[in-house]
Every structure is written in structure tokens, then in C-alpha cells.
Amino acid sequence: MNPSFQIHKNDWFAFLHKSSEEYNVYLPVRFNNHIEYEILQDEPENIALNIARPVTPLKTFLLPVKENVVINTSIHNKNIIIGVPSCDLHALDLLDKIYLDQKFIDDSYRINRENTILIGTDCLEIHENCHCISYNINPFPEINHDLSLVAVNGEIIISVNSGKGKKLFDELKSSFPVKEAEKMQIDKIQEKRKEIIIQLKKNNKSLPDYQKTGDLIQKSEDEIWERYARTCVSCGACTTICPTCTCFLLIDRPDFEKVRQVDACQFPGFEKIAAGEDPLKRKYVRFRNRYLCKYVWRPGQFSSIACTGCGRCIDSCIGNISKNEIFIEMAGDDG
């Protein structure tokens, strides 16, 4: 852990209220059984810090579903996003490599990225489908965040992880009492982290690791894909909710404008070429395409993983398909 500081919860929220004059401040809030980012207004209720995980993946803040990328009419708000889980922070590796590729920088993504302060959080309560640990990601902020925070015993424990984070932290320090974090609190967090890791490992003990999954997919027979794809309706829920799926289509508008709109390989016709030929014509081939992309192709291209183990695609599948079941079956006894 970076050097940590401690501030009372009430002071922290007072600071956020003050910051919301300049920024859109997003907080994780619990609705029924799920957690969602809410913009900070009035007295926030049901705030769910340290709990895995917002339904909406972080990418949505950086790559809107639909956006005019030629005249760029979007309002690029300044955002503070609180409670980003480690898996979503890891997903930024791939997104940055794609959208900030030095040769072709996507301006809109760049501006959104620059305008956003990311405050990562520990997952001290995990979701049943969380499996970050199987892919070497820890359930606490490791990379790609500006600040990280954990709420324990009515106190907020904060550490600073970037220049942008330091700037905000300095503002905090100048108007509210901030002290060095007590050892007791840090120990408590460290202890909790260990417990959560054990729990994640236990929940996922049959799941093969990343590399092994890629190898298994490449060696797999069509039969298993045909079988699992039977209930797939090509709705694209899995790609929409995935923190690393960002495929899109450019749509032309008058005045040579273009709209970048979310698209997905799960939709029929995604790879159709003139004369109607389509390598992804068959449903199970489309279904498998997503896994080949995540576990074989993207890692090959970008040296970044493309599944961070957030489990959202499992929650959201209306065909009740669990990718992890597929991989556990493939791994068989030596999984």
C-alpha cells in the first residue's frame, strides 16, 4: 500500500459536495440487489463502498454508447468516479492501448480519460461471479487509478497514486482535517484483503488460469461451442457489459460527420463482406469468437489481458450461459 491517510467519513462527504461544484461526482450506490454509480446530489443514501461491484463497467464513462467523433458535440464533463473495482482498472490497460495508440489517438477518449479522476476501491465483499484472482488480478486497486480509498469503522483511508490524484488530495488536505492512517486501520484492511483472496480462490478453485484458458480454447472441438451456444440469442449483453469489449461501427452523417456507435461481434453481419460472405455466419462461431478474442487474440496483439474476471457477462446472459462453466468443463480433472 502507498502511504495512507485517514479522514472522517463526514468530512470526506463534505469535501465531495464541495467538489461537485466543479466535477460530476459518481458514487457506488446499492439498489435492491445490485450496485450502480449514482451522481452525488443532496444526502446520498445506500452508498456501497468496498463492495463488488457496479453493474456498469468503467468503459461507459470513457466511450459513450453513441458519439459524434468528427465535430465532437459531447460535453466532456470533469468526472470523479469513486469506487472503481480493481478489475475495471485493469481493463484500462487494453483500452488505453487501443484508443491512445500514438499513431491514431482517439481524441474523445483522450479528453474523457484526462478529465476523469479515478478513485479505486477495495472489494471487501465480493460478488458470486467474481474471479479476478484466477487471472492474477488482486481485489484491491493495483494500477491505473489516481486515488484509492477504503471505508473502515467510519473512517476513510485514502492513498495517492498519481499526479492527478495528488492534486485532488491536496485540495482535500487544505480544507479538511487529514491525518496519517492509524496502523490499526491499515492492519484491518490488510487482514481483510487476505481473507477476500482466500475466498476468491476457494470460489474459483476449478477455474483454469488465463494462459491455460487460451490454450484450451484453441484446442477445443466445435461440439462444446455448439452445445453452449444453444441458448445464446446473440443479444450482445455480454459485450455491452464487458469492461474490455469496445468494438464499434462508424455511422455517416451529413457534413462528413461520423458517429462512433457500440457494436459487437455477437451481432449477425458484424464481419459480413460484399457479396454476402460472412466468416461469422454461424451462431456458435460468433459465440466462440468472443472467447478467442479475449483469451488468444487480444493478448497476442496488445500483451494485455482482455478478461479481468469481473463476472458481469455471467450475470447478464439471458441464455444463462456461464463462460466459467465452459472453461471448467474444458479443463476437466486437471483444471
Partner 1 sequence: MSETKNNIYKPIKAKVDKVIQESPAIKSFVLIPEHEFSFKTGEFIELTLNGYGEAPFTPSSSPLEKKKIEVTVMKAGYVTDKIHALRPGNIVGIRGPFGRGYPLEKFYGKEVVILGGGCGFAPIRSLLYNLMAEKDNFKKVTLCYGAKTPEDCIYKPFVDELRKVDKFEIYRSVDKADETWEEKEGVVTVLLDDIKVDIPNSVAVVCGPPVMMKFGTFKLLEMGYPEEDIYLSMEKNMSCGLGKCGHCMLGKYFVCKDGPVFTYAEIKNEPGIWL
Ligand X SMILES: Cc1cc2nc3c(=O)[nH]c(=O)nc-3n(C[C@H](O)[C@H](O)[C@H](O)COP(=O)(O)OP(=O)(O)OC[C@H]3O[C@@H](n4cnc5c(N)ncnc54)[C@H](O)[C@@H]3O)c2cc1C
- Binding site residues, partner 1, CB under 8 A: 69-72, 76, 98-99, 101, 104-108, 111, 246-250, 252-256, 258, 260, 263, 265, 270-275, 277-280, 292-293, 296-297, 300-301
Least spacing, CB of residue 204 vs ligand SF4, in Å = 10
Please give the grid coordinates belonging to residue 248.
Answer: 464499434
Give whichever of 155 and 263 is closer to ligand X, judged by the CB atom: 263
Size of the site for ligand X (CB under 6 A): 3
Task: Give Cα separations from 25 to 118, 119, 255 (angstroms).
Answer: 10, 11, 35
Q: Does 260 interact with ligand SF4 (rule: CB under 6 A)?
A: no
Short-list 271, 194, 205, 269, CA closest to 234: 269
Give whichever of 66 and 167 is closer to ligand X, judged by the CB atom: 66
Q: How far apart are CA 157 and CA 133, in angstroms?
A: 23
Please give the grid coordinates belonging to residue 213.
Answer: 484458458
- In b/e form, how buried is each residue of 259-286, taking b as 16+ CB within 10 angstroms? ebebbbbbeeebeeeeeeeeebeebbbb
| Site map 266..285 versus ligand X, x via CB under 6 A | ------xxx-----------
Short-list 172, 128, 173, 168, CA closest to 145: 168
Q: Does 313 interact with ligand SF4 (rule: CB under 6 A)?
A: no
Give whichever of 79 and 129 is closer to partner 1, judged by the CB atom: 79
Please give the grid coordinates belonging to residue 182.
Answer: 492509524
Least spacing, CB of residue 85 vs partner 1, in Å = 24
Least spacing, CB of residue 105 vs ligand X, in Å = 22
Residue 107: how many other CB atoms lie within 10 Å: 11
Q: Residue written as cell 476513510?
A: 156
Quick check: 297 and 290 in contact, CB under 8 A?
Answer: no
The residues, any chain, with a CB within 8 Å of residue 76's CB and separated by 6 or more, are 108, 111, 112, 115
CA atoms in the 13 A half-sphere facing the CB of 105: 8
238 binds, among ligand SF4, partner 1, ligand X, none (CB under 5 to 8 A by kind): none
Give whichever of 184 and 274 is closer to ligand X, judged by the CB atom: 274
Looking at residues 133 to 192 of the shown chain, list those that interact with ligand SF4 (rule: CB under 6 A). Answer: 139
Q: Which amino acid is at 15?
A: F
Least spacing, CB of residue 319 vs partner 1, in Å = 22
Q: How far apart are CA 119 and CA 259, in angstroms?
A: 30
179 binds, among ligand SF4, partner 1, ligand X, none (CB under 5 to 8 A by kind): none
Looking at residues 86 to 125 of the shown chain, list those that interact with ligand SF4 (rule: CB under 6 A). Answer: 86-87, 123
Please give the grid coordinates belonging to residue 164.
Answer: 492527478
Give whichever of 87 and 157 is closer to ligand SF4, judged by the CB atom: 87
Give whichever of 29 and 216 is closer to partner 1, judged by the CB atom: 216
260 binds, among ligand SF4, partner 1, ligand X, none (CB under 5 to 8 A by kind): partner 1
Give whichever of 130 and 168 is closer to ligand SF4, judged by the CB atom: 130
Residue by residue, DSSP assigns 89-120 as: HHHHHHHHHHHT-TTS--HHHHHHHHTEEEEE
Give whichever of 163 and 254 is closer to partner 1, judged by the CB atom: 254
User: Helix, strand, or coil here: 59?
Assistant: helix
Interface with ligand X by CB under 6 A: which residues?
272-274
Interface with ligand SF4 by CB under 6 A: which residues?
52-53, 85-87, 123, 126-127, 130, 132, 139, 309-310
